[in-house]
């Protein structure tokens, strides 16, 4: 055969071209995460182990597709065998199913769902585990917001808000729909449904707004967490625990508490109650573990000087409590002696438990957990050896995505305090090269950044890393996860030493040769937005760009427009703004507006009741008056965050573009001008 050199090269080039074309999807994936990939991630919300300890029911959050109408993610109901095998789906779009629980005999799954062909409002449903259609359990006139099945299976306690009266409905129809705050309250009432008769009745007659329900083991009584008004601030700051008899509905206070309250559980013998609560009115978190006799009395604090923040709890036996906590940048599960408070570590991090569902007899549990490589999935665990086994993989596409590595770092903050943070390296990081640094600052300030899955639509850490940024998530003083003293350490000093902790983290990365001190930017939501506004004004000389989302910019006007004025004042300032007017104004970013030179992207949801959109308008207008490059993006229908796919993608892409233009100087003046329009 005659050798044709030209033909050989043509075929070789064609083959190479085809190989490259076939590899393009994989190569694109290896460029790191994109906004579209972030908003398409599924995440497990809740997991519940069955009474036999053989199956786990769980709720899976599934984002909407691009072509669907705007709205929140769907919630699907799944069941998976503990020992292995395929998961079975029990609900699908357009219906959502939340708050899953098992009947005591394990034959039914109970859940909340809105199915308009049955009832126009959310109700309690159940579905046979062995197959069959879902059936409505409740048929209440209003939406059911929460429920709890009694241990004997006979009763369903549920919460539903007062409806409009006939007169109010007629007035609303006639346009007489003016709003007068703090009047004509609509309470969230406690109802009891009888699974035998199918009838429901209001259990608590007092004007109490009920937020949580906990059954006693004998199904004869309940503990509720309730407030005297339905105001959000009261829910945060002034709720109390009450004991309610299931037969008569009589109510009495359980014990004296002060400040925030969290999870609660009865001991298996019904004699004791464990709960999470604040140590006083100024404690930012319900993070300490208390026990109290079930008949009432003085609660005993078992946490002492524990350097962690309790998240949830359950009883293993009549003498032992299991406590899930944030400790530093990880989650831990500890056993706690109910008499002495002595703790024993059972599980620590890797992955990070978000919640657990215990089977005390078998000493096993189901859990929702995440890790640096994936969002929340279902795990099983044993208390004997603390080992965890991953059971689900709802984002298999992540195996094809190159993720930037992350680690926990420490540095000295103000006064030599030890401060931690989660550091994510730029994708394809090269040793010895300095990179632009992007701060991603959590809210609260009592929030905490954990060393798990850090990427979400409002904090797109892996997208920033894919675009060449070093990303630091600092746990400054005031954060959770380090105990009561640490979370209180910023009180009456907001924007002071807590922000010095953040600046010290920047300096530490510069000193290590990782960060370029001339390419530092910052972004965050809520209190993280406050920090970014503070960076762009008070400390503007340090930052080349900022993104302020739902951020506080004026402490005085904020306090008058938020739905939690008492919470923000009493657990962060220890006072109200009018008692320390000069300090509150001096710690407002707007006070330092004439110092501002940092280009600032300002973002807000128009349905935000926590931080009024006016806070962003104030900052945006002031920056414009001072000739600072700025852009304001307002998202309709969005609350204190983002929930709709199109908004999430738009936000991520605008954030990356803003940082690229003003930090990396990737575009010319004409592009900057276009961005501002």
Q: 43 - beta bridge partners?
A: 61
pLDDT at 13: 36
Domains and CATH numbers, the chain: 254-349 (2.120.10.30), 404-675 (3.40.50.1820)
pLDDT (average), residues 554-582 = 95
Q: 601 - beta bridge partners?
A: 547, 631
pLDDT at 374: 98
* 389 or 24, which is more confident: 389
pLDDT (average), residues 557-572 = 96
The whole-chain average pLDDT of the chain stands at 93
Report whether pLDDT(623) > 60: yes
Give the residue among 648, 326, 645 at the shortest CA–CA distance from 459. Answer: 648
- Give the global pTM: 0.93
For the sheet with 288-293, list strands across it: 261-266, 272-277, 288-293, 300-301
d(CA 531, CA 508): 19
Tell how strand 515-525 and strand 435-441 pair up.
parallel
Report whether pLDDT(157) > 50: yes
Tokens of 47: 């997991």
Which three-class secondary structure string do you get for 191-205? EEEECCCCCEEECCC
Among the residues of 544-637, which ranges form H helices?
A: 555-561, 565-570, 581-586, 614-625
Q: Which pLDDT band holds residue 15 (cuts at 50, 70, 90)?
A: very low
Per-residue model confidence as pLDDT tens digits over 327-354: 999 999 999 999 999 999 999 988 999 9
- Phi then psi dihedrals of residue 530, to 5 deg: -60, -45
pLDDT at 24: 35
Per-residue model confidence as pLDDT tens digits over 80-118: 999 888 999 999 889 999 999 999 999 999 999 999 988
Per-residue model confidence as pLDDT tens digits over 428-448: 999 999 999 999 999 999 999
Q: What is the largest CA-CA distance in the chain?
A: 101
Residue that is written with structure tokens 């009024």 in the block? 612
- Phi then psi dihedrals of residue 616, to 5 deg: -75, -40
pLDDT at 674: 61
Q: What is the dihedral of CA 50, 56, 59, 62, to 10 degrees?
A: -160
Residues 6+ apart with CB under 8 A from 651: 457, 458, 549, 603, 633, 635, 642
Give the residue among 18, 47, 41 at the shortest CA–CA distance from 388. Answer: 47
CA 121, 122, 126, 131 dihedral sign is positive
Helices and strands: H and E segment counts in the chain:
14, 36
């Amino acid at each position: 055969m005659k050798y044709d050199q030209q033909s050989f090269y043509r075929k070789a080039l064609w083959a190479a071209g085809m190989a490259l074309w076939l590899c393009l999807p994989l190569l694109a994936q290896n460029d790191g995460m994109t906004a579209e990939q972030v908003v398409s991630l599924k995440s497990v919300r809740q997991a519940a182990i069955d009474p036999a300890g053989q199956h786990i029911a769980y709720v899976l959050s599934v984002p909407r597709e691009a072509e669907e109408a705007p709205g929140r993610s769907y919630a699907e109901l799944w069941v998976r065998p503990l020992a292995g095998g395929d998961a079975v789906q029990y609900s699908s779009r357009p219906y959502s199913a939340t708050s899953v629980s098992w009947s005591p005999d394990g034959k039914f799954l109970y859940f909340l769902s809105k199915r308009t062909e049955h009832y126009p409002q959310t109700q309690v449903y159940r579905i046979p585990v062995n197959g069959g259609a879902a059936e409505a359990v409740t048929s209440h006139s209003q939406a059911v917001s929460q429920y709890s099945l009694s241990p004997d299976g006979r009763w369903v306690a549920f919460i539903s808000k007062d409806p409009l009266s006939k007169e109010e409905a007629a007035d609303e129809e006639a346009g007489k729909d003016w709003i007068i705050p703090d009047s004509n309250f609509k309470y969230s009432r406690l109802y009891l449904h009888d699974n035998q008769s199918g009838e429901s009745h209001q259990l608590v007659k007092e004007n109490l707004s009920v937020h949580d329900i906990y059954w006693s083991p004998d199904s004869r009584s309940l503990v509720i967490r309730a407030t005297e008004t339905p105001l959000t601030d009261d829910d945060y700051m002034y709720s109390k625990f009450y004991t309610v008899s299931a037969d008569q509905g009589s109510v009495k206070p359980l014990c004296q508490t002060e400040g925030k309250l969290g999870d609660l559980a009865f001991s298996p013998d019904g004699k004791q109650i464990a709960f999470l609560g604040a140590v006083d009115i100024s404690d930012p978190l319900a993070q300490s573990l208390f026990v109290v006799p079930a008949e009432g009395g003085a609660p005993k604090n078992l946490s002492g000087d524990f350097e962690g923040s309790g998240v949830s709890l359950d009883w293993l036996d009549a003498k032992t409590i299991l406590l899930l906590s944030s400790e530093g940048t990880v989650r831990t599960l500890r056993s706690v002696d109910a008499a002495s408070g002595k703790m024993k570590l059972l599980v620590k991090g890797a992955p990070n438990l978000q919640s657990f569902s215990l089977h005390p007899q078998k000493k096993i549990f189901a859990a929702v957990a995440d890790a640096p490589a994936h969002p929340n999935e279902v795990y099983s665990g044993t208390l004997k050896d603390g080992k965890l086994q991953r059971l689900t993989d709802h984002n298999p596409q992540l195996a094809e995505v190159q993720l930037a590595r992350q680690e926990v770092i420490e540095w000295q903050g103000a006064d030599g305090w030890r401060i931690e943070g989660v550091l994510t390296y730029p994708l394809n990081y090269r040793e010895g090269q300095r990179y632009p640094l992007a701060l991603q600052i959590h809210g609260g300030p009592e929030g905490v950044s954990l060393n798990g899955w850090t990427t979400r639509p409002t904090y797109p850490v892996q997208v920033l890393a894919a675009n060449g940024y070093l990303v630091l998530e600092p746990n400054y003083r005031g954060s959770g996860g380090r105990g009561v003293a640490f979370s209180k350490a910023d009180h009456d000093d907001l924007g002071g030493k807590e922000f010095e902790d953040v600046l010290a983290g920047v300096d530490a990365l510069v000193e290590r040769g990782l960060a370029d001190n001339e390419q530092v930017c910052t972004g965050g939501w809520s209190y993280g937005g406050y920090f970014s506004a503070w960076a762009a004004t008070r400390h503007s000389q340090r930052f080349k760009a900022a993104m302020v989302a739902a951020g506080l910019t004026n402490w005085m006007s904020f306090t008058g427009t938020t739905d939690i004025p008492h919470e923000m004042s009493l657990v962060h300032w220890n006072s109200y703004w009018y008692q320390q007017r000069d300090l509150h104004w001096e710690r407002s970013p707007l006070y330092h507006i004439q110092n501002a030179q940092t280009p600032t992207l300002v973002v807000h949801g128009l349905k935000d009741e926590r931080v009024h959109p006016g806070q962003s308008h104030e900052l945006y207008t002031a920056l414009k008056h001072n000739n600072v490059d700025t852009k304001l993006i307002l998202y309709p229908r969005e609350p204190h965050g983002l929930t709709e796919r199109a908004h999430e993608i738009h936000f991520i892409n605008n954030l990356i573009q803003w940082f690229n233009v003003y930090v990396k100087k990737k575009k010319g003046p004409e592009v900057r001008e276009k961005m501002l329009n």
